[in-house]
Amino acid sequence: MTQLEASVEADAEVLNGVAVTKKRPHAQPGGRKPRGAQTSPTVRVIQFALLVALFGSWQLLASTKVLNPAFVSEPSQYFPSFWHGVDGGGLLGLIGTTLYETFVGFALSAILGLAGGYLLAEFKAFDVIIRPFMTGFNSIPRIALAPLFVLWFGLGSLSRIVLIVSLSFFIVAFNTYAGLQGVNRDHLLLSRVLGASRRERFFKFVLPSAAPSIFAGLQLALTYAFLGAVVGEMLTGSDGLGGYLALKMGSFDTTGFFGGLILLVIVALAVSAIVRALENRLLRWRAIELAGTQGGGQ
Amino acid sequence: MKRSGATGEIVQEPNPALSSHGSPGGTVVRIAGVSHSFATPDGARRAVLDGIDLEIRRGEFLAIVGPSGCGKTTLLNLVAGLVRAEVGIVEVHGGRPKVGDPEVGYLFARDALLPWRTVLGNAELALEIAGVAKSERRRRAEELLGSVGLADSANAYPAQLSQGMRQRVAIARTLATRPDLLMLDEPFSALDAQTKLLLQDTFSKLWAGLGATVVLITHDLSEAISLADRVVLMTARPGRIKRVFEVDLPRPRSVVTLQSEEAYHRMYQQLWSELSEEVVRQ
């Protein structure tokens, strides 16, 4: 595994809170509690208390002028600002643009990345010739290319979509490649002695075994797609939630800025919750396997 | 074509002419004059099998024992068609061995269960690939899971099972296609002692109802004696057949109750004294 892929996987672990791509030893019988089981009420209470403490102390420090409210605003200001923005202030329309760019960019990255990863895994020549180029391009900080994309593709959504694809494509491609490569040798032997056709081997043995890695790649790609959309918008300062944030910052309206940020956080959390629910549904076996390892092993 | 010195110790019926085609009646696997070697990293060739002659009769349970590295698994790979013999003839059902022959079932030390499939899904796998219709394969898989004692775990995932239960699923998967020839490569070696005894008994009972020919490769002498009709003892590498023992213990046998039979212990002693010579020679 290249350093690059390793860093992608490390990212996956941190950003998603769940190390789906990490290889674990075989599950031990015993612990059966699936991951994502109900969080206990005590934990919820503590989390809520921490949230109250965060915003409470923020409010206190800003009200007493220990921190300059012009720089950090204050919760009593930016929560209402957020609400006005959502309730008739056009924030929903702006987030609509951002989400449109995110999903179109993500969908393109997913399609191209799955195809690219498949080609890399399946065709040796493709792997040997093309992969160094991919690794090289992927090591460029793509955000630095954003102004170039604006020059080429204009101030509209298209330049953001291109930026997203330039980020997310590689994540999907490399994770797909790693997943397709990591098939258990016993399973391949079994597919041979059972007389599986090429097609059956791919769909019944290789693809399901790659699914957790592919899914982790898609999850991370989605995070990067959202990031790409917002950062791209901020750079051009024109459209979407990123444009709104850039505008507020440009006019030194920290309250408006934090108001927009709240919406950003809510959307990001909602998207990741949906993805996690999807994962628990599609990869239930994986959750059981990991739970078994954690319960019985360590 | 036979190599000199390879056959002196063999206690067996004479080798059929190598040029004859078609398998004689009652023979499922015919191995004649087979020698094989592998390339070593430094470019030399290392002989693993040397002049093997063996006929496996229809319906018999044959065990192959020998010291580590004597080419037991290579022999199995030759019969499976995964490797082609350098010298000699290997025939299965009168023809060249075919990889993926639905008439031949395999069971390995590692169960190779697919973790994303339920127990039932794993039991159906071989049938699915063999192209058996959905309702029929479900029925057969459920029936077999019942006979290996896993009817209640059909919807569990492999990660939720113990090692012994996993191997039971593998047995169900293997037997579901009703193979005529079963190739077992140390199928119980990864299990703890008690689970192993239980599983050997389960397998022995299932086999009695199947009439399939079985080739069992094992390290475990008591396993070989308690399950097999004949035990083939191989020499240290390069592997030759040192002796073939007929096990005339009455059937049905129970792996556990055999322990009190004197004939069993005599055979064990005899096998061990011959095998230990080979183990020491390594």
Write down the pLDDT at residue B7.
Answer: 38
Is the CB of residue A285 less than 8 Å from the CB of residue B115?
A: yes
| Mean pLDDT score of chain A | 84
Q: Is B206 on the interface with A (CB under 8 A)?
A: no
- pLDDT-derived band at A285 (thresholds 50, 70, 90) equals confident
Write down the pLDDT at residue A280.
Answer: 86
Question: Complex ipTM, two decimals?
Answer: 0.83
Which residues of chain A make contact with B82, given a CB cutoff of 8 A? Answer: 192-193
- pLDDT-derived band at A178 (thresholds 50, 70, 90) equals very high
Write down the pLDDT at residue B280.
Answer: 82
Question: How many pairs of residues across A and B have Cβ atoms under 8 Å apart?
Answer: 68
**The token pair that represents A187 in the structure block:** 């399973």
Write down the pLDDT at residue B25.
Answer: 52
Say if residue A28's pLDDT is above 90.
Answer: no
B232 vs A7: which has the higher pLDDT:
B232
Which residues of chain A make contact with B153, given a CB cutoff of 8 A? Answer: none
H or E stretch at B231: strand B230-234
The span from the CA of B248 to the CA of B252, in Å, is 12
pLDDT per position as a tens digit, B214-268: 999 998 898 999 899 999 999 888 888 888 998 888 887 887 788 888 888 888 9
Residue whose structure tokens are 């395999």: B106
Q: For residue A26, with 0-12 CB atoms within 10 Å meaning exposed, 13-18 middle and 19 or more buried, which class applies?
A: middle
Domains of chain A: 3-18+76-296 (1.10.3720.10)
Which residues of chain B make contact with A200, given a CB cutoff of 8 A? Answer: 129
User: Which positions 113-152 of B are in contact with A (Cβ < 8 Å)?
Assistant: 114-117, 125-126, 128-130
* Nearest one of A21, A25, A14 to A176, comparing CA atoms: A21
For the sheet containing B181-185, what is the strand order?
B104-108, B181-185, B213-218, B61-65, B230-234, B241-246
| Mean pLDDT score of chain B | 85
Which residues of chain A make contact with B128, given a CB cutoff of 8 A? Answer: 204
Which residues of chain A make contact with B102, given a CB cutoff of 8 A? Answer: 195
The span from the CA of A146 to the CA of A103, in Å, is 18
* Nearest one of A41, A49, A52, A76 to A62, comparing CA atoms: A76
Write down the pLDDT at residue A282.
Answer: 85
Say if residue A10's pLDDT is above 60.
Answer: no
Which of A80-84, A111-115, B3-7, B146-150 has the largest mean confidence?
A111-115
CA distance A95 to chain B (A): 38
Can you give the residue ranges of every domain in chain B?
Answer: 114-178
A196 to chain B: nearest residue by CA? Answer: B129
Using beta carbons and an 8 Å cutoff, which residues of A are at the interface with B? 26-27, 29, 32, 184, 186-187, 189-196, 200, 204-205, 208-209, 211, 283-286, 288-289, 292
pLDDT per position as a tens digit, A99-150: 999 999 999 999 999 999 999 999 999 999 999 999 999 999 998 999 999 9
Start-to-end Cα distance in chain B: 27
> For the whole prediction, is pTM greater than 0.80?
no
* Nearest one of B92, B75, B102, B279 to B184, comparing CA atoms: B75
